[in-house]
């Protein structure tokens, strides 16, 4: 069984064959640090964390590098808005990035290069492009001569004649800059200093790098001239990744990356997420319950420099970080995913089911007298999970395996609670639990021991369920069958199944 990946460059799936056996060099385009991360960022970094974890589970040694863009027009604008500095804004939002990603259980990268720490590599790469005739200086700026690179457009599939001017992708559409270019599609490698902005010395005069050259230099400095996987959001395919290829491959004559992977967008109620529509949801607000997917009722956020996220939180809407991960995995990474109240509710209920399964061993290991030395797993479940993940990381199919294991364990747990014993062999239950823990861990889905008592992940706690069952029992005893049916339906709506026993007791299970 081999791992197959969809390669954005070749536009087809192919077996994964790394440059070195059992080793993977992987680069992920990171954030521009001027703001809080939103659910689109959450999807991207959860996806690439999953890819990294799975490669490690498959036995690869993965070196994972993710950059920070810490010099950019957006950062400088934020600094002006908040009467701060570029350095202070960047440091603040780097810290905020780590706070959000840690909560989402995203593993730290092996290295986090920053653009401002990579100036020597950036200037060296620009000089090499100049020497080879791919770059030219003009009025203190340096531009890439796009028409010189015959393969330009091979990643995005765009023809040069169809591309719009200003291919830099950032704030470079001013008339004066357009006049400096030999061709409208040329993009900046080095920008001359502007009054009041940070600048670095160079042979072209004081200035700062363009956006695209930063990643080309950081990939080369950290991982070498050719890497295995270069990944990022689909919005980066053009111009950012296209320009990275043009820059790097013009100098080295080698492929920048053998596999290009891109995750699809997150929409909100079917609409593109944007601040202008007031449906821009930060990770922080999602986790704290301060969000709405209703475009009309979700008010705009206050300026981030004056306090950050909105202050009024609805704890009942707070979404468990693991439910956010589950929401992301409910769609294959190349498929667009729609953020709705219903989708989040489904993810919360789904996590509740998996969490119950993960807690099974913590709750019942002693009661079942498990042999702690045993590590065997359910071979069939592992094979099904691997088959799904080997198929270009088909997480929806992989989740099916987890849900089957979790539901079985959840039912057995309820049998143990209500009957004090189970007919299923303890060894088999241990095997299923170890399998669930292992496979869920590949997706970064983990439950803490502290959750062992009262778990509530957007659903009902065990205690609340027991209380409702008693209320239903009392209603039925009073011959108020309508009320009894109402309670059963409410529990069913929370994914709780009731089983009435012949002796008058009622057992239940999730899912």
End-to-end CA distance of the chain: 32
Q: Hey, what are 318's tokens?
A: 């707070």
Mean pLDDT score across all residues of the chain: 90
Fold of 339-452: 1.20.120
Q: What angle do CA 188, 197, 189 make, to 5 degrees?
A: 15
Contacts (Cβ under 8 Å, ≥6 apart) of 170: 72, 73, 210, 211
CA pair distance 218, 225, nearest whole angstrom: 10
228 contacts 26 by C-beta, under 8 angstroms: yes
Q: To which residue do tokens 């959001």 refer?
A: 233
Report the distance separating Cα 89 and Cα 109, nearest Å.
22
**How far is residue 268 from each of residues 68, 237, 275, 317, 343, measured CA to CA in Å?**
26, 22, 12, 16, 10
Q: What are φ and ψ of residue 268, in 5° steps? A: -120, 115
The C-alpha atoms of residue 371 and residue 428 are separated, in whole angstroms, by 12
Query: How much is the pLDDT for 175?
Result: 60
Tens digit of pLDDT at every position of the chain (511 positions): 799 999 999 999 999 999 999 999 999 999 999 999 999 999 999 999 999 999 999 999 999 999 999 999 999 999 999 999 999 999 999 999 999 999 999 999 999 999 999 999 999 999 999 999 999 999 999 999 999 999 999 999 998 877 654 444 454 445 667 778 999 999 999 999 999 899 999 999 999 999 999 999 999 999 999 999 999 999 999 999 999 999 999 999 999 999 999 999 999 999 988 766 777 899 999 999 999 876 445 554 544 444 444 445 677 889 999 999 999 999 999 999 999 999 999 999 999 999 999 999 999 999 899 988 888 999 999 999 999 999 999 999 999 999 999 999 999 998 998 888 899 999 999 999 999 999 999 999 999 876 654 454 446 777 788 889 989 988 888 988 888 899 988 888 887 888 887 777 787 876 5
Asked if omega into 239 is within 30° of 0 (cis), the reply is yes
Report the distance separating Cα 414 and Cα 430, nearest Å. Answer: 16
Q: Report how far Cα 345 is from the mean position of its chain's Cα atoms.
A: 19
Q: What tokens does 191 get?
A: 């920008």
- 278: alpha, beta or left? (left if phi > 0; alpha if psi -120 to 50): left
With a CB cutoff of 8 Å and minimum separation 6, the contacts of 152 are 146, 160, 242, 246
Model-wide pTM > 0.85:
yes
Please report, for residues 93, 162, 415, 452, the alpha-carbon distance to residue 463 in angstroms, rounded to integers and kept in the order given: 40, 63, 16, 13
Other CB atoms within 10 Å distance of the CB of residue 165: 13
Chain position carrying tokens 């061993």: 361
Torsion of CA 436, 437, 442, 445, to 10 degrees: 100
d(CA 168, CA 244): 11
Radius of gyration, CA atoms only, the chain: 27
CA 127, CA 251: separation in Å to the nearest integer?
Answer: 10
Helix (H) or strand (E) holding 327: helix 321-329
Task: Give the integer Cα–Cα distance in Å for 13 and 2.
Answer: 12
Q: List alpha helices for 18-65, DSSP H.
A: 39-57
For residue 391, the SS3 value is strand
The token pair at 270 is 């079917």
Structure tokens at 430: 């241990």
CB atoms closer than 10 angstroms to residue 421: 9
- Quickly name the fold that domain 20-155+162-264 has: Rossmann fold (3.40.50)
According to DSSP H, which parts of 365-442 are helical? 379-390, 395-419, 426-442
Neighbours of 10 (CB within 10 A): 13
Q: For residue range 478-501, what is the model confidence (pLDDT) as tens digits? A: 988 888 899 988 888 887 888 887
Q: Provide the sign of the torsion angle of the four alpha carbons 464, 467, 469, 475, taken in this order.
A: negative
Point out which residues pair with 135 in neighbouring strands.
144
Which residues, 6 or more positions from 353, have their beta carbon under 8 angstroms from its beta carbon? Answer: 403, 406, 407, 410, 495, 510, 511
Pairing type for strands 12-15 and 141-144 reads unpaired
pLDDT tens, position by position, 112-150: 999 999 999 999 999 999 999 999 999 999 999 999 999
C-beta of residue 403 within 8 angstroms of C-beta of residue 381: no
Cα–Cα distance, 198 to 192 (Å, whole number): 11
Contact indicator for 495, 353 with CB cutoff of 8 Å: yes
> For position 308, what pLDDT does the model report?
44
């Amino acid at each position: 069984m081999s791992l197959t990946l969809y390669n954005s460059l070749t536009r087809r799936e192919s077996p994964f064959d790394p440059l070195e056996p059992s080793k993977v060099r992987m680069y992920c385009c990171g954030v521009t640090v001027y703001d809080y991360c939103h659910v689109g960022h959450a999807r991207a970094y959860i996806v690439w964390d999953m890819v990294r974890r799975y490669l490690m589970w498959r036995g690869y040694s993965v070196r994972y590098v993710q950059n920070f863009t810490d010099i950019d027009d957006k950062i400088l604008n934020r600094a002006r808005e908040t009467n701060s500095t570029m350095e202070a804004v960047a440091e603040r939002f780097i810290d905020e990035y780590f706070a959000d990603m840690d909560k989402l259980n995203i593993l730290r990268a092996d290295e986090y290069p920053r653009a401002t720490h990579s100036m020597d590599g950036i200037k060296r790469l620009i000089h090499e492009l100049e020497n080879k005739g791919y770059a030219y200086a003009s009025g203190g700026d340096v531009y890439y001569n796009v028409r010189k690179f015959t393969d330009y457009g091979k990643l995005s599939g765009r023809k040069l004649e169809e591309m719009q001017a200003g291919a830099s992708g950032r704030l470079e559409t001013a008339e004066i800059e357009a006049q400096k270019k030999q061709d409208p599609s040329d993009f900046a490698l080095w920008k001359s200093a502007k009054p009041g902005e940070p600048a670095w010395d160079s042979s072209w005069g004081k200035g700062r790098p363009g956006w695209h050259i930063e990643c080309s230099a950081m990939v080369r400095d950290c991982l070498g001239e050719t890497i295995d996987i270069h990944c990022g959001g689909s919005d980066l395919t053009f111009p950012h990744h296209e320009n990275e290829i043009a820059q790097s491959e013009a100098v080295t004559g080698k492929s920048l990356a053998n596999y290009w992977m891109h995750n699809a967008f997150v929409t909100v109620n079917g609409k593109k997420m944007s601040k202008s529509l007031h449906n821009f949801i930060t990770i922080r607000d999602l986790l704290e319950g301060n969000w709405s997917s209703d475009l009309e009722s979700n008010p705009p956020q206050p300026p981030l420099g004056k306090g950050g996220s909105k202050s009024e939180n609805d704890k009942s809407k707070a979404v468990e970080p693991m439910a956010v991960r589950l929401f992301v995995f409910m769609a294959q990474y190349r498929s667009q995913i729609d953020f709705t109240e219903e989708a989040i509710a489904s993810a919360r209920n789904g996590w509740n089911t998996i969490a119950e399964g993960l807690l099974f061993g913590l709750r019942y290991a002693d009661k079942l007298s498990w042999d702690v030395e045993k590590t065997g797993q359910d071979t069939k479940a592992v094979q099904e999970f691997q088959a799904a993940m080997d198929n270009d990381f088909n997480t929806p199919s992989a989740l099916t395996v987890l849900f089957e294991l979790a539901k079985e364990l959840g039912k057995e747990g309820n049998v143990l609670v209500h009957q004090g014993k189970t007919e299923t062999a303890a060894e088999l239950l241990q095997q299923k639990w170890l399998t669930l823990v292992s496979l869920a861990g590949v997706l970064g889905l983990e439950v803490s021991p502290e959750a062992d008592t009262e778990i509530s992940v957007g659903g009902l706690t065990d205690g609340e369920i027991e209380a409702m069952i008693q209320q239903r029992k009392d209603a039925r005893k009073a011959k108020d069958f309508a009320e009894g049916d109402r309670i059963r339906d409410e529990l069913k709506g929370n994914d709780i199944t009731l089983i009435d026993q012949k002796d008058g007791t009622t057992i239940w299970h999730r899912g």
